[in-house]
Amino acid sequence: MHALEQGLELSLDARRGGKITRLFDVGLGRNLLLSSSQSGRLVLDDGLVFDVSGWDEIIPSIEPCDDVPPMGWAVRTSPRCLAEAGCLVSEWEIPGWRLERSIRVAGSGLTADYGITNRSERPAKVLWAAHVLYPTEGLHEVTLPAGGIIPGPGCDVDEVMRVLARDQDNWHIRTLENAGRSWKFFLPARGAAVLAYGDATLSIATDTAWWGIWINLGRIGRPCIGIEPTNWPSDLLRDVGDSIAGSATVSLSWGLRIAGDRNSRWDGMASCG
């Protein structure tokens, strides 16, 4: 399914769990999301081939937990999709939960609004993340809101601290080395995450409580950075501390804004990646 609004072309593959494969900026002439590659095809423990690229919805857990498979149920479920003027709505019915996502394109960016509904009559915990991956090619600097870092699975905090620099308000990533490494960590989402490319700046904001940050220097597929709004600083469902009441719905959202010369040629000069 394709939708083109105000210079942004959005491509969705319902057969691959509703993955957004492309967010193509016509003015910039490129996909803002990480494109698929052969080396990015990850075979999970249950045999599912997960494509490390684009934008996926992960719910109700990232790591396998109890009866939930790795990367959750949504990536294994074809959503119902409806395209309207300026809006693309997708709805997943998965064990225990309903997820609805509405993507609206307006001006120089988009907003994604979510409703997560507990389909049972009992309170239940859920872990959700918008698994959105961006290329590091042409990326000069990443700015993240300052706050305490919570390491994710296998994250070497000492290594991460050698990558990050901090001022009063923000963390900064200006250069990335250690090819073949990756780190996952969490930060309070008290401000926007900003990706400064040679041709444009992407500003990503959310009303969720946390950012999940994944710096992947080619350990899996092409180098990329994940800026993932999430409701809890963990990849594991059993770590979640809050429950959603039976039959209740919670609302979440995040948005992306694009600034820069959208008619310029991407020079691809990278100090990061």
Q: Is the pTM of this model over 0.85?
A: yes
Long-range contacts of 245-250 (CB under 8 A, 24+ apart): 245/118, 245/123, 246/118, 246/120, 246/121, 246/122, 246/123, 246/124, 247/117, 247/118, 247/119, 247/120, 247/121, 248/117, 248/118, 249/115, 249/116, 249/117, 249/118, 250/115, 250/116
Phi then psi dihedrals of residue 222, to 5 deg: -80, 150
In tens, the pLDDT along 31-54 reads 999 999 998 999 998 889 999 999
Q: Alpha helix (H) ranges present in the chain?
A: 157-163
Tell me, what's the pLDDT at 180?
85
pLDDT of residue 261: 57
161-181 burial, b at 16+ Cβ within 10 Å, e below that, comes to eebbeeeeebbebeebeeeee
Which of the residues in the chain have pLDDT under 50?
262-273
Instruction: Give residue 263's pLDDT.
Output: 41
Find the DSSP H helices in 43-179. Answer: 157-163
The pLDDT score that the predictor gives to residue 116 is: 98
Residue 194: closest CA among 108, 254, 256: 256
**Measured distance CA(6)–CA(132) in Å, rounded:** 21
Cα-Cα-Cα-Cα torsion 44, 238, 126, 217, nearest 10 degrees, comes to -40
List beta partners, residue 65: 68
Q: CB under 8 Å to 162, separation ≥6 — which residues?
A: none
Taking the domain 2-259, which CATH number applies?
A: 2.70.98.10
